[in-house]
Amino acid sequence: MNKKNITIIGTGAYGTALANVLADNDNNVIMYGIVEQQIDDINIYHQNSVFLDSKKINKKIKATNSMPAALENTDILILGVPTVAIKHVVNDIIKYAKKPMDVINTAKGLDEESLGLLSTKIKKYFEGSSVIKTYSALYGPSIAVEVVDRQPTAIMIASETIEKAKELCEVFSNEYFYMYPTTDIAGCEISAALKNAIAIGGGILKAYDAGDNAHATLLTLGLNEMYEFGKHFGAKLETFLNFAGLGDLILTASSKKSRNFRLGEKIVENNDAKKALEAFNLTVEGVETARIAYEIGKKYQIDMNFFEIIYNILYNNVKPISLLNNVFRDVKLV
């Protein structure tokens, strides 16, 4: 496989983890960030201590705060910022990109405005520009810190054609990072977004010491609601059984390494979602997703009992104990 020139937008936890994989695979990797200290940390000390402590990353990774420099000669562009920042960065990317690129999104969210898919929205942002060659997105159970530690990880790449997905698998895969191809962008994206809200529920149950039965039940009913939701957008059933679906759901709704899970625990600690959120300054995509998924469920009359409860906890000051008291009743199984 030829060396690729890869640009990663965002110097956060996941962008850094992917940079490390891609540099390990001998590609030229440059990261674009907005925080000088993070850029220096990467260039000089080969670490990203704000997000990943003092863990060393591949010395070949470069970072810059200049978008034009980052986009000098890009073959593959990775969007490594949270959902909320995508519009802003795409505007700049369009301004400075010099040639058409394979664009890969990593953000896990939905589109608030259209009550639809984030991928549709991102492609719209690029519409009319000539800088996007293909669109793909990368999803699956991959906590950044474990990827940086080179612990075994398997994820999906969803592209519009299977040929492109397979080509990208070649670029990313190595002995600790395995990537599998699919064309079900909608299914992967919905799984990835919705599991974050379910992970908040996982943290709530854990903090109440609800037990392993309850945990397994949450995963099962959560997967069912993800699928009910996905059907509406034409997602395939099998996607919910792959790494983007079941895999990421199990990981995030069970692990203290997940920020969404930890937020759930904090909500119980504070007995108040608003207070917990005020004190929690990490990226937690599940909060917005819970609201958008709830609205989509209402609009299209999708049966989503869990999402209604978690929405009320996050947005209507309903106490977190209501999850324990109500989520196991009237579960609608696929």
Ligand X SMILES: NC(=O)C1=CN([C@@H]2O[C@H](COP(=O)(O)OP(=O)(O)OC[C@H]3O[C@@H](n4cnc5c(N)ncnc54)[C@H](OP(=O)(O)O)[C@@H]3O)[C@@H](O)[C@H]2O)C=CC1
Ligand Y SMILES: O=C(CO)COP(=O)(O)O
Site for ligand X in 188-247 (CB under 6 A): none
The answer to whether 13 contacts ligand X (rule: CB under 6 A) is yes
What span, in angstroms and rounded, lies between the C-alpha atoms of 278 and 234? 36
What stretches of the chain show up as alpha helix (H) in DSSP? 13-24, 36-45, 49-52, 67-70, 86-96, 118-126, 144-148, 162-172, 185-207, 212-232, 248-252, 259-270, 273-279, 285-299, 305-315, 321-326
Token duo for residue 136 = 């793909």
The answer to whether 289 contacts ligand X (rule: CB under 6 A) is no
The answer to whether 12 contacts ligand X (rule: CB under 6 A) is yes
- In what helix (H) or strand (E) does residue 76 lie, and over which residues does it extend? strand 76-79
Compute the least distance from the CB of residue 41 to ligand Y, in Å: 20
Closest-approach residue to ligand X (CB): 12
Phi, psi of 77 (to 5 degrees): -115, 125
Compute the least distance from the CB of residue 106 to ligand Y, in Å: 9
Whether residue 51 contacts residue 10, with contact meaning beta carbons closer than 8 Å, is answered with no
Q: Which of the listed partners (ligand Y, ligand X, none) does 15 bind, with a CB threshold of 5 to 8 Å by partner kind?
A: ligand X
Per DSSP, the three-state class of 117 is strand
Site for ligand Y in 228-267 (CB under 6 A): 248, 251-252, 258-260
The answer to whether 122 contacts ligand Y (rule: CB under 6 A) is no
Would you say 143 or 235 has its CB closer to ligand Y?
A: 143
- How far, in whole angstroms, is CA 156 from its chain's centroid? 12
What span, in angstroms and rounded, lies between the C-alpha atoms of 221 and 307? 11
135 is in an annotated binding site: no
111 is in an annotated binding site: no
Residues in contact with ligand X, counted by CB under 6 A, come to a total of: 25
* Separation in Å, CA 126 to CA 7, 121, 304: 17, 9, 32
Site for ligand X in 77-116 (CB under 6 A): 80-83, 85, 88-89, 106-108
Compute the least distance from the CB of residue 326 to ligand X, in Å: 27
The answer to whether 288 contacts ligand Y (rule: CB under 6 A) is no
Phi, psi of 60 (to 5 degrees): -80, -10
Residues in contact with ligand Y, counted by CB under 6 A, come to a total of: 13
Catalytic-labelled residue, pool 4, 164, 195, 206: 195
Compute the least distance from the CB of residue 270 to ligand X, in Å: 22
144 is in an annotated binding site: yes
Let me know if 195 is a catalytic residue: yes
The answer to whether 283 contacts ligand X (rule: CB under 6 A) is yes
The answer to whether 35 contacts ligand X (rule: CB under 6 A) is yes
14 is in an annotated binding site: yes
**285-299 helix and 305-315 helix, angle to the nearest 10 degrees:** 130
What span, in angstroms and rounded, lies between the C-alpha atoms of 239 and 262? 26
Burial (CB count within 10 angstroms: exposed 0-12, middle 13-18, buried 19+), residue 296 = buried
Compute the least distance from the CB of residue 122 to ligand Y, in Å: 18
- How far, in whole angstroms, is CA 60 from its chain's centroid? 25
Q: Tell me which residues touch ligand X (CB under 6 A).
A: 10-15, 33-35, 51, 80-83, 85, 88-89, 106-108, 142-144, 283, 285
- Binding-site positions for substrate read 108, 259-260
Catalytic sites, residue numbers: 195
Q: Tell me which residues touch ligand Y (CB under 6 A).
A: 108, 141-143, 196, 199, 248, 251-252, 258-260, 285
- Binding-site positions read 10-15, 108, 140, 142, 144, 195, 248, 258-260, 285
